[in-house]
Structure 1
């Protein structure tokens, strides 16, 4: 599986442009050679396939036929691999090669008889036997069209070499012919023009018929199976992301509840008690009551500061208003450890991506300040073609982990809920490097 850091894009060089005439002749040549070669190959595979299958099945009861049948299937597999390479230029799509079942690591007998249990290998054998039908049809059409097109267009050049019977002048007068040789040349040239004009369509049609027949047996079943597998994997990933999102939300709510209980709630309870005590002392000791009220005002300001800090943890206004770079700059400025921030200006991203990137840095800096005993932190945010790479590295004691029960498990859930991947490299006494790859 590729690393989370390998989210790069390669750009192919533009294909050289060809004139319509060159493209026409090139495709005509590809289709023609495909059909003409397909006929002898189809004849060979028909003989090999039917003979090997018949001998293998008829002698399988005495075990001699099994090696013959396996050999026939392996030959059919080889012809199928060659055919997949041949049909690519015809249909204009690079064919995928199926992954055959492998019996590596198992006994010799299982490895030897492995092709018998592979469904794609049997489809290869079916193609080897029945490909002769479209190959023969296509071969006949291509040979006839090419022969009549070339023969008709070149008729005036070689007509002189053919023996001609005496002209039947009575028949010519009945049909209204005046110049027998000229009419014969004109008729054959017209036939050549017709077949040359329709040559590309006919050759293209029969080549596609043969190629799509091969693709249906040699590629389509595997591609359908692969699509089903990818759909199931996408479903599993979506379920994991949903579970991660629910877990991350639950962790965030519990943390918010704990912070409110330990901070603003306790201050508000004390504030209420101080104001009640001040109310009772206003009549007897006004100075003491004023001191209590002044202390209550200080508690109010501190409570408001804590509430603002909690609100920044839920949805930082600077992130919403000014973007990720400004939010990370403010976050680095509040950190108690020097932060080397590398966050170049970039266009606004999806709000979910920006929020996740912000919380990755915020949680990482909080953990560094609390547990790492680091002297410096490096924060890097890089925009690449397929996503956003966020890296936080410190020179602290290390030992961080993504395992459940550790401080970063909730952050891992948040990143996975956004469809990303979180990786931690934190050897003991070697510092910590946290990397999050977020897709765009």
Structure 2
């Protein structure tokens, strides 16, 4: 306990020191970024404007085209340098957008390719406009550093300054007396103000310059990436919607087939039996009673079958008591012994619970019909991002998610819920089905 307390105390004492060191390091990064940006901005402004003007003016005699290309390549180099410089200021890597490349279309066309590249022109625009924020930022940084250094160190050099009665300092203009203590206190106060606000002012100026550069150099690329991400999200949503429609269609076809093969046939026979019973009530009452009794038995069997089919639509136990109880009921009805590992958990999103239930239900049905397995293991695990459902058996294997197989509809249902279904089923090696279902945020 003492060692843990000592480590905790040491960590608490060290945290502010690390925070101060981080601010000092960031202050150094921001300062050098702004100060170095001034000469770089001046160079890029001169070369960018001069090269563009000469290239545009001499383009009529074709001499200006290679000059314009050289100017664009220079602007591209400065843009690459600027992206590297703003990365530590923003605390994130700023990627380089793709530039237009021409392959196999002649040396002249490859040489003039930068003239057709929109990003190269954005780099040139940055080269000519960046000097505006550079001048503003440079002025603020120089003033704040000068005010902080001169004010905080004033007590050490006041004695070396000439204090002629003809010279009026700022403190005298404001109505203060011209004494050493007043001068020191006044200038020290100014130094404390500039020093206390130095980090925030330099940080704000550096961020303004960095975001200005990033907006010109990467704004179009970032917009294209956002559009691509939106289109990808739309495609995923469309695939999920298509999977949901497919899963619903498969479920409806299965339900229709089951009703046609089971309850519908029973109801047809029931109608025929009741018709025969009605005709025999007069001639053979005993026979009619036997037919009615048999019809009642068929009615109960038909109701039981309809209840079983209704579990594939909306199992009441899942809605009322949750996933664990519903899976326990499924395991109890399975003709193959089931080892269920489904710990109690809080109620999840209804769509997730329903999908997990149908994954297990369909898997157990396939095991009972096709696998010839002796045992099934069902596991449901809750993780930070979702639900992992695993069903494995020791049967003959050979299951597949390919279209036309029994699990294709189940795969569509899982995809519709935003999940992933995987099947490992070597021949004579059993089958392991795993579904990963995400939970909504």
User: Scaled by the length of structure 1, what TM-score is found?
Assistant: 0.80
Superposed, 1:166-315 pairs within 5 Å as 167-168=165-166, 184-185=183-184, 188-315=187-314
Residues 80 and 124 of structure 1 are in contact (CA less than 8 Å); yes or no, is this contact kept in structure 2?
Answer: no
Tell me the secondary structure at the aligned position of residue 433 of structure 2.
Answer: strand
Structure 1 unmatched ranges of 5 or more: 1-13
Matched, 1:399 2:416: no
Tell me the secondary structure at the aligned position of residue 400 of structure 1.
Answer: coil
Residues 79 and 128 of structure 1 are in contact (CA less than 8 Å); yes or no, is this contact kept in structure 2?
Answer: no
Q: Which moved more, 1:222-231 or 1:70-79?
A: 70-79
Cα deviation, residue 280, structure 1: 2.4
Superposed, 1:350-369 pairs within 5 Å as 350-369=349-368
Cα deviation, residue 353, structure 1: 0.6
Cα deviation, residue 71, structure 1: 4.7
Q: Which moved more, 1:60-69 or 1:268-277?
A: 60-69
Matched, 1:85 2:84: no
With a CA cutoff of 8 Å and minimum separation of 6, indicate the structure with the bigger relative contact order: 1
CA distance 1:292–1:224, change in 2 (3 Å): same
CA distance 1:325–1:126, change in 2 (3 Å): same
Corresponding residue of 2:74:
72
Residues 30 and 202 of structure 2 are in contact (CA less than 8 Å); yes or no, is this contact kept in structure 1?
Answer: yes
Residues 83 and 214 of structure 1 are in contact (CA less than 8 Å); yes or no, is this contact kept in structure 2?
Answer: no
Matched, 1:31 2:40: no
Cα deviation, residue 379, structure 1: 2.2
What is the number of residues matched between the two proteins? 418
Residues 278 and 290 of structure 1 are in contact (CA less than 8 Å); yes or no, is this contact kept in structure 2?
Answer: yes
Corresponding residue of 2:316:
317
CA distance in 1, matches of 2:368, 2:50: 77
Q: Which moved more, 1:98-107 or 1:411-420?
A: 98-107
Corresponding residue of 2:326:
327
User: Scaled by the length of structure 2, what TM-score is found?
Assistant: 0.80
CA distance in 2, matches of 1:325, 1:121: 60
Corresponding residue of 1:9:
none
CA distance in 2, matches of 1:104, 1:348: 58
Residues 414 and 421 of structure 2 are in contact (CA less than 8 Å); yes or no, is this contact kept in structure 1?
Answer: yes
Matched, 1:338 2:337: yes
Cα deviation, residue 176, structure 1: 8.9
Structure 2 unmatched ranges of 5 or more: 1-11
Corresponding residue of 2:98:
100
Corresponding residue of 1:5:
none
Cα deviation, residue 286, structure 1: 3.1
Considering only aligned residues, what root-mean-square deviation do their CA atoms show, in Å?
3.8
Tell me the secondary structure at the aligned position of residue 311 of structure 2.
Answer: helix
Tell me the secondary structure at the aligned position of residue 141 of structure 2.
Answer: helix
Cα deviation, residue 351, structure 1: 0.9
CA distance 1:365–1:52, change in 2 (3 Å): farther
Tell me the secondary structure at the aligned position of residue 361 of structure 1.
Answer: helix
CA distance in 1, matches of 2:247, 2:421: 14
Tell me the secondary structure at the aligned position of residue 313 of structure 1.
Answer: coil
